[in-house]
Structure 1
Amino acid sequence: MGGSYILQPNDCVQVDIDNVEAIKGRLRGIDVQLKHKEPGLMVLLKAPGVNKQTIEWAGAALEMVSDSYAGEVPESNKLVPWIAVNSVEKAIRSLVILVNRKELYQSMLDQISNGQVTFTISALCHGRVDQTHIDRAAAESLANAANTAIPRDRADEMAFLDPYLMWFKHNDLRFDIFDHVRLSIVSVTESSTAGYLSMVSGEVTHSTSPSLVLRRLMFELGCPIAGTQSHAKPLSNHRDKGSLLAFTGIKLPSPNQPDKHIVVSEEVSPKLLSVCTREARFFAQKQERAQAEISGVLADASEADELDGSLAMVNGRPAAYVTGRKQFCGHMFGVTPDTLIPRPSTETLVNAVVELVGGKPARILDLGTGSGCILLSVLLQTTNTSGVGVDISRSALSVAQANGSLHELESRAVFMESTFLSFANELASHGPFDIIACNPPYVSASKIARMREAMEHEPLLAFVAEDGGYQSYRDIHLALSANSSILSGCIAFEIGKNMEKGVRRIFADWTEVAAKRDSRGYLRVLVFKPPA
């Protein structure tokens, strides 16, 4: 009828409701995503907060509003829910398998029991999880103990007596369930509150409660998942999180095509990644504050700044030791914990030696060669040059020899074992040398005690020198004074900040011919010529 009408008492109003639109409207308020669908089965991704009843209703609702559905659509509250195959935990972002009839549900349970369905879960755990430890503990300590200690005919009795075994019985889990979990380490993040946080990925079979299994396993390994659920451990900065765990994959047989597998993969939950990012940021801020305090304590902080700041860290170790290599003077060199990690400041020494060579044929001696990077870098930048690298460490010499082979310099570089006091006599037959290059240990014992964290991964032998850091310079001066014929040209030293006066006093009877500053402006290299 046209125009307006004011309802009167006893008027009857008929309201027609579109069931499809009503269902769509309710679905829009539920945070679920359809990941796979085929007749009788679908896989949904649900957000934290969505419970089992809701996800089962959503399965039926999505079927009703699909373009392929041709039947009558009932009212929203009269939908027959689908059946969730795996457990649904409200607090967890998870993938859920749903089926629409009981016989298919039972078939899926049988497939899970037979290990034909794999659930993949990512979780953030307390501590620094070690893959070797996980393999040993999971495969031997837990699974084997359960398999061998529980006679089949006494399983129920023993479960009743043992709280640990009771947990398996209560959750309808087989006693060897941990034997059906494959774990891998995704990443390790340093944390200011937990020390370390490890992201693990677990593939769980033979269970409809994979997240429950993974939580208990990590708890038994001493690296509980961060969260407030059972067998989890709260993270102090994120106590509002139910569990920092999320499903990232499901693999299962298709009920409609027996030879086909359904594979659903998800990225690691943004929530888990954001926690890692925040913890890494908090840790970095804490380290910056600690470093500022150290810098305030040290009157001479250049070594701490340089040694600490130049080392990129991976999982608490210098990246160079993790990768086994470090770039120096534009070339890659192998390094191990037996050798010092090359620093940019030492390139100043290489440049000074190349300048001394000046394009002429030259024999070079590298004292305290370590990885061999100084000698080899000079040889790579010059022609008609050769040399000998000397070190007290046989392990370091092995690394230097490998680097010589890496750069195809075996015919030009030889590496020998000797000390700062004895090299002049022991290498007399290999001399005379036109140039000696040396980056000796020059950190005093008092400084090393305050810079322990900056140097804890590298060999102290390459850092520390007695006599306030000057002992190596004194030993070399003494050795050269006793056998001056080994050097026909100059010696170039790397020195620490404000050490120039002390080194100059030691070589007061020599002639200083050059002094070089590094890229940070510190006097880094002194070059001396022996007395006539």
Structure 2
Amino acid sequence: MRVKLQDLLRQGEIVLKERKIEQYRSNAYCLLHKHFNVSRAQVLLSQEQDYPEALVLAYWADIRARGERRPLQHLLGSWEFMGLSFIVNPNVLIPRPETEWLVEYVLAHYQGKPVRVLDLCTGSGCIGLSIKKLLPESQVTLVDISDLALEVARENSEALGAAVKIEKWDILQGVPFYLEKERYDLVISNPPYIKTEELPTLQPEVREEPAIALDGGQDGLLYYRALAGEWSALLKPGGEMLVETGEDTGAQVLALFEQHLAACALYPDYAGLPRYVTGRKE
């Protein structure tokens, strides 16, 4: 099929703009790059030439899917987090830029230390695997209830060359017997924190993500009660628990932490919204 990539890009932009897709230009380019592996400069300088028809049709299929509010990350099959490429699909939560703060905090406070890390509700493994990759001396365990999510985490572990331990468990069921005697320097989590009643109001793209990774119960605090209670017992003396919260529940999570941990603090994200809570075991 004889086409000009610049024309394909512009036509894709038009379709996505008509479907009211935010950042329609970058979305169209990402999908073009996925199929044709070209830089923006190459697109601008492109001349009309022959491409396999299947390639052009696959691009348009993705444009249509994005116009129907399928997440861009699902269409691409991967997404960047902490400068690393992570496999993503509808079985895991899409890594968000604000979650990088958790890893940045760990890098700032534990650089050069052989820390033992427990990443709960790991999903794609982006938090724990980033820590392992950027702090190679760390020992990291990933935990999630979903077999499908853990399969993605395993694939990411292999792709990144980051050797970690992976366990299946529902953290709401308390600490399993095989972890009861383990002690960690860091317990870290970005658990489900959306209130159940708010799930139907989320953006269409977010509703494409697994509900099990979003639903934080009636008040959005279900998982934080378990984390601050049973799971904080796995911290070494002086060990630290670090979590991401909803922008409207940070103060409540802080209060839960203060019932079980010391030196608790609430930190803002880069937009100034209260989002991260830390606490230490005395």
TM (normalized to structure 2)?
0.75
Q: Structure 1 pair 437/456, CA: closer, same or farther in 2 (3 Å)?
A: same
Partner of 1:516: 267
- Show the 5 A alignment for 1:124-143: none
Which amino acid is the alignment partner of residue 314 of structure 1? R
Aligned counterparts of 1:385 and 1:266: Cα–Cα separation in 2: 50
1:359 Cα offset (Å): 2.1
Partner of 2:20: 284
Which amino acid is the alignment partner of residue 155 of structure 2? A
Could you tell me which runs of 5 or more consecutive residues in structure 1 were left unpaired when the two chains were aligned. 1-200, 202-264, 289-311
Q: Deviations over 1:272-291 (max 9, x none)?
A: 99876555433328999xxx
Aligned counterparts of 2:140 and 2:11: Cα–Cα separation in 1: 52
Q: Structure 1 pair 273/476, CA: closer, same or farther in 2 (3 Å)?
A: closer
Aligned counterparts of 1:273 and 1:346: Cα–Cα separation in 2: 31
Q: Structure 1 pair 516/381, CA: closer, same or farther in 2 (3 Å)?
A: farther
1:506 to 256, 260, 274: 256
- Show the 5 A alignment for 1:67-86: none
Say whether the 8 Å CA contact 1:422–1:479 is kept in structure 2.
Answer: no
Q: Deviations over 1:502-522 (max 9, x none)?
A: 112222222234433222222
Partner of 1:432: 183
Partner of 2:200: 449
Partner of 1:476: 227
- Show the 5 A alignment for 1:99-498: 278-284=14-20, 314-316=66-68, 317-410=70-163, 413-422=164-173, 424-428=175-179, 431-480=182-231, 484=233, 486-488=234-236, 489-498=239-248
Aligned counterparts of 1:326 and 1:286: Cα–Cα separation in 2: 18
1:528 Cα offset (Å): 0.7
Q: Structure 1 pair 475/284, CA: closer, same or farther in 2 (3 Å)?
A: same
Q: Percent identity?
A: 29
1:397 Cα offset (Å): 0.6
The 10-residue stretch of structure 1 (272-281 or 466-475) with the greater mean CA deviation from structure 2: 272-281
1:315 Cα offset (Å): 4.8
Q: Structure 1 pair 320/522, CA: closer, same or farther in 2 (3 Å)?
A: same
Q: Structure 1 pair 430/406, CA: closer, same or farther in 2 (3 Å)?
A: farther
Which amino acid is the alignment partner of residue 179 of structure 2? A
Which amino acid is the alignment partner of residue 284 of structure 1? K
- Show the 5 A alignment for 1:84-103: none
| Number of equivalent positions | 238
Q: Which has the higher helix share?
A: 2
Q: Deviations over 1:140-182 (max 9, x none)?
A: xxxxxxxxxxxxxxxxxxxxxxxxxxxxxxxxxxxxxxxxxxx
Q: Structure 1 pair 282/438, CA: closer, same or farther in 2 (3 Å)?
A: same
Q: Deviations over 1:119-149 (max 9, x none)?
A: xxxxxxxxxxxxxxxxxxxxxxxxxxxxxxx
Q: Structure 1 pair 387/430, CA: closer, same or farther in 2 (3 Å)?
A: farther
Say whether the 8 Å CA contact 2:257–2:264 is kept in structure 1.
Answer: no
Which amino acid is the alignment partner of residue 487 of structure 1? L
Aligned counterparts of 1:405 and 1:276: Cα–Cα separation in 2: 34
Q: Structure 1 pair 452/277, CA: closer, same or farther in 2 (3 Å)?
A: closer
Which amino acid is the alignment partner of residue 225 of structure 2? R
Over the aligned positions, Cα root-mean-square deviation in angstroms equals 2.9
Say whether the 8 Å CA contact 1:353–1:492 is kept in structure 2.
Answer: no
Q: Structure 1 pair 520/419, CA: closer, same or farther in 2 (3 Å)?
A: same
Aligned counterparts of 2:3 and 2:230: Cα–Cα separation in 1: 66
Aligned counterparts of 1:274 and 1:403: Cα–Cα separation in 2: 33
Could you tell me which runs of 5 or more consecutive residues in structure 2 were left unpaired when the two chains were aligned. 25-62
Q: Structure 1 pair 318/503, CA: closer, same or farther in 2 (3 Å)?
A: same
Q: Structure 1 pair 278/338, CA: closer, same or farther in 2 (3 Å)?
A: closer
Which amino acid is the alignment partner of residue 400 of structure 1? A
Larger Rg: 1
Partner of 1:257: none
Tell me: higher relative CO, structure 1 or 2? Use CA pairs within 8 A at least 6 residues apart: 2
1:381 Cα offset (Å): 1.5
Q: Structure 1 pair 479/285, CA: closer, same or farther in 2 (3 Å)?
A: closer
Aligned counterparts of 2:23 and 2:3: Cα–Cα separation in 1: 34
Q: Deviations over 1:77-105 (max 9, x none)?
A: xxxxxxxxxxxxxxxxxxxxxxxxxxxxx
State the 4+ residue runs in structure 1 displaced beyond 6 angstroms.
272-276, 285-288
Aligned counterparts of 1:374 and 1:342: Cα–Cα separation in 2: 9
Say whether the 8 Å CA contact 1:321–1:337 is kept in structure 2.
Answer: yes
